[in-house]
Amino acid sequence: MQFSIVFAISWVLILAVGGGLLTKIGSWYRNLEKPSWQPPDWLFGPAWTVILGLAGWAFVLSWDGAASGDERMLLIGLYLANGLFHFLWSPLFFTAKRPDWALLEVPFLWLSVLALCVFLRDWSVLASWLIVPYLAWVSFASILNLKIVRLNGPFPKSAG
């Protein structure tokens, strides 16, 4: 199996499974005030599965379009940076119970997704477009995170 496919599948699985394991929907989360426009909890898993799957496919297309080893190393670096910032959000929000800290991490995640949109275009226009749903979802989730912080005041709230 090609490296690009193995890397893409590994990246998707690590982020999807790891993110799922780090997202504990318990009484603390259920007791937070949330905006009326928040999607139902069950939607987040399927949304992330599709978004990360598209991003994995974008990696394979970009890998095939990269002309040199340096370009491929940049591609790997972009995905590793994004994976790190993606992976940090759930433990900050759910494990540490600090939506305010998660909100401070959001710009790094958002910029890492934007970097994918911008840089992947050089290797595959389709790959760049496949990242757009990721950027849109992170943008929406950022606004949701901000609204939760505003509705619930300073953190930490009691861990109830």
Q: CA-based diameter of the chain, in Å?
A: 54
Residue 96 lies in a domain: yes
List the CATH number of the domain containing 143.
1.20.1260.100
| Residues 61/127, Cβ–Cβ less than 8 Å | yes
In order along its 160 residues, the chain shows pLDDT tens digits of 799 999 999 999 999 998 888 788 889 999 999 999 999 989 998 999 999 999 999 999 999 999 899 999 999 999 999 999 999 999 999 988 999 999 999 999 999 999 999 999 999 999 999 999 999 999 999 999 999 999 998 776 555 4
* Number of independent structural domains in the chain: 1
Residue 75 lies in a domain: yes
Residue 159 lies in a domain: no
Residue 30 lies in a domain: yes
CA dihedral 39, 94, 25, 87 (to 10 degrees): 70
How many whole angstroms separate alpha carbon 115 and alpha carbon 35?
A: 29
pTM for the model: 0.91
How crowded is residue 154: how many other Cβ atoms within 10 Å of its Cβ? 7
Domain of residue 27: give its range: 3-152
